[in-house]
Structure 1
Amino acid sequence: MAQPRAELVGPATPIQPLARLSGQLGITLHIKRDDLAGTTFGGNKSRQLEYYLGAAQAASADTILITGAVQSNFVRTAAASAAQLGMRTIVQLESRVPDMGPTYDRSGNVLLSRILGAEVMHYPDGEDEAGADAALRARAVQEQKAGRVPYVIPLAAGNPPLGALGYMRAADEIIAQNAGFDVIVVASGSGLTHAGLLAGLHRAGHGARVIGSCVRRDAGLQTDRLKRVLAALSELTDTGGPVPQNRIEIWDGALAPGYGRIGPAAADAMARMAQVEGIMLDPVYTAKSFAAIPALVRSGSIPQGSNVLFVHTGGLAALFAYQDEIETALPRG
């Protein structure tokens, strides 16, 4: 049975050539502008939310509850998308990145969520996904007692991966736009975007490699997470049979110094994309995912002459919350 879907993304996001970077790297490089997907400040979360909010609509929900890091793009996009659909939003922010300054706690996605009218609650442990989900479900019970109809968008990997369905659709969209890509590079955090793209390509019989660049866990842990998400996705929808495990490719060369922190690889990638192509990346996701491309070209894992697609998943609102860290991390000219 088809899963309900709220139409939030609109027309296909463009795929654009990156001619100058292509010349520098010796590959044919394009960018999928999913930073333009959906509502204000856009991003990959809009595609995921089409299915979560579709399920919420099917349940006649009037209140959305969702967890994320303090500078979560997901919770901000959920608040904006829910507002479009006439729903109220409660966002739960985890303390996932320690020792950040006051700008981090007030600006960027936090400020936007407040402008959007979201109620903000907090959860103290950034590595306890099951506990964060339990806290939201306890709050949902309170909302029910108050006469509302809540819908919880869960965080932990053991829940049905509805968000991955958005990137199975995106895989079809990419193939329709340009079926010639050899390699697709994307950030890999929750695993829903990465797994959805991989499953969508597999279902379509397309052999492009999908390389996920780690933004939260090392390659070993992220590989395990992808296997679990793909298995759950195959139970949720037709994926054309199991995705072969040898198609799961993970790179963690820009992960350090950890989630929500900017290391040299991410800082170099952010500066390079901005200064060569005039396109901004964010410090948490897209800088770390783009960093994979020059590194893998240098190592030979992406061969010279390859046709490569970089998926820009958005996250640009977080730039403003990371001002101090970005100014410190950027390479000096």
Structure 2
Amino acid sequence: MDLARFPRRRYTPGPTPLERMPHLSGQVRRDLWIKRDDLLGLAGGGNKTRKLEFLVADALAKGADTLITVGAPQSNHCRLTLAAAVREGLKCRLILEERVAGSYAAQATGNNLLFDLMGVENIRVMPAGSDLAAAMAEEAEAVRALGRVPYAIAGGGSVPLGTLGYVACAQEILAQSLDAGVAFDRVVVASGSAGTHAGLLVGLNAASWDGAVTGINVRRPQAEQEGNVHTLCVQTAAMLRTAPPERHAVTCLDRWVGPGYSLPTPEMAAAVRTAARTEGVLLDPVYTGKAFAGLLGLIETGEIEPGERVLFVHTGGSPALHAYADQLR
């Protein structure tokens, strides 16, 4: 499986830390570790950076001067796509889907503030359920009318080319595990647009790793999300000419979604406080807070058994914390 044949920009000078969480491990009687992808390069860090390394390389190879993408009003993906555009000297246009009615506010803090600070060229706000592909096509046509070259990036960068970023992360985890003499029984990760989850599965499966990857859903019901993740696994594995993981290897638990995407839950708020107060790690309310709530919930029910060594993949998002201050205090 040769990732080197795919053009790639590098926004992070080396591997992100893989650290033990000693205080929380002692409290819950499990050996808990964390992969710090919140410390990836670009503004504020986060998992989309790995996907953008491959996607932006493709954009540059095609002569693009403007990136276009979609996300929610506090989208980490939109923040990082804009940051990559600034890094490369490109323009960037964002289409924001109000998945919760009335959730966009031009003067909001969090990622919305950063959109303005980094000089987004245009923001278009759409209601939930809009045809986002059509909206991106319209933005692309508007860019062409200006004599420029657009490059559209799907939500979350979760297409096979972007998913390669987490195939690379899986290789990085395995190399760090070997170096540290640590063997993990389970990896836990937030499962949203599916690219991070699928990339880890493809990369770990290609290495014949025999642990479990547990996705914690942040938006969709379990069956729907598992289908999305497995489809992307198959597509990505085909690109790499390797075998995809079996369907039964895909687990996307939906018990911690709560009332809906980006809507706070008591379990999320408690998980964010727990990580901050035991390990000094900042999670976010939309993705990692709910995923960490899932990790703690699986420990509480005994589904993660005493003695298990578990790696939590921190996909970033803490710049959005400030927009949820009222729900976290």
TM-score relative to the length of structure 2: 0.93
Measure the CA separation in 1 of the matches of 2:80 and 2:156: 19
What's the counterpart of residue 177 of structure 2? 178
Residue number among 210, 213, 230 corresponding to 1:210 in the alignment: 213
What's the counterpart of residue 169 of structure 1? 168
Q: CA 1:101–1:156 in structure 2 vs 1: closer, same or farther (change >3 Å)?
A: closer
Measure the CA separation in 2 of the matches of 1:44 and 1:101: 23
* Shift, 1:322, TM fit: 1.3
Measure the CA separation in 1 of the matches of 2:177 and 2:10: 23
Residues 70 and 132, structure 2, Cα contact 8 Å, conserved in 1: yes
Residues 261 and 286, structure 2, Cα contact 8 Å, conserved in 1: yes
Residues 133 and 156, structure 1, Cα contact 8 Å, conserved in 2: no
Is residue 96 of structure 2 the alignment partner of residue 93 of structure 1?
yes
Q: CA 1:267–1:205 in structure 2 vs 1: closer, same or farther (change >3 Å)?
A: same
What's the counterpart of residue 155 of structure 2? 155
- Write the letter of the residue equivalent to 1:165: L
What's the counterpart of residue 248 of structure 2? 246
Instruction: Please list the CA deviations of residues 151-193 of structure 1 after superposition, one character each: whole Å capped at 9, or x if unmatched.
Output: 0002399x84222100000000000101411101110000000
Measure the CA separation in 1 of the matches of 2:98 and 2:307: 43
Measure the CA separation in 2 of the matches of 1:97 and 1:322: 14
Measure the CA separation in 2 of the matches of 1:24 and 1:246: 32
Residues 184 and 209, structure 1, Cα contact 8 Å, conserved in 2: yes
Residues 77 and 155, structure 2, Cα contact 8 Å, conserved in 1: no
* Shift, 1:9, TM fit: 2.4
Residues 187 and 313, structure 2, Cα contact 8 Å, conserved in 1: yes
Give the stretch that moved more between structures: 28-37 or 273-282: 273-282
- In the alignment of these two chains, the number of paired residues is 322
Residue number among 82, 87, 92 corresponding to 2:85 in the alignment: 82
> Where in structure 2 are there 5+ consecutive unaligned residues?
none
Residues 73 and 103, structure 2, Cα contact 8 Å, conserved in 1: no
Measure the CA separation in 2 of the matches of 1:308 and 1:260: 25
- Write the letter of the residue equivalent to 1:253: R
Measure the CA separation in 2 of the matches of 1:87 and 1:172: 30
What's the counterpart of residue 222 of structure 2? 219
Measure the CA separation in 2 of the matches of 1:134 and 1:29: 43
Residues 95 and 126, structure 2, Cα contact 8 Å, conserved in 1: no
Identity over aligned pairs, percent: 39
Measure the CA separation in 2 of the matches of 1:113 and 1:95: 16
Residues 70 and 105, structure 1, Cα contact 8 Å, conserved in 2: no
What's the counterpart of residue 64 of structure 2? 61
* Shift, 1:226, TM fit: 1.0
Is residue 26 of structure 2 the alignment partner of residue 23 of structure 1?
yes
Residues 71 and 156, structure 2, Cα contact 8 Å, conserved in 1: no
* Shift, 1:97, TM fit: 2.1
- Write the letter of the residue equivalent to 1:112: L
Give the stretch that moved more between structures: 184-193 or 147-156: 147-156
* Shift, 1:4, TM fit: 1.8
What's the counterpart of residue 300 of structure 1? 302
- Write the letter of the residue equivalent to 1:175: L
Measure the CA separation in 2 of the matches of 1:319 and 1:7: 27
Residues 110 and 319, structure 2, Cα contact 8 Å, conserved in 1: yes
What's the counterpart of residue 187 of structure 1? 190
Instruction: Please list the CA deviations of residues 13-70 of structure 1 after superposition, one character each: whole Å capped at 9, or x if unmatched.
Output: 0011101111111111111110000112100010011111011011011100011100
- Write the letter of the residue equivalent to 2:272: M
Residues 48 and 156, structure 2, Cα contact 8 Å, conserved in 1: no
- Write the letter of the residue equivalent to 2:152: V
> Where in structure 1 are there 5+ consecutive unaligned residues?
328-333
Residues 140 and 151, structure 1, Cα contact 8 Å, conserved in 2: yes
Q: CA 1:295–1:156 in structure 2 vs 1: closer, same or farther (change >3 Å)?
A: closer
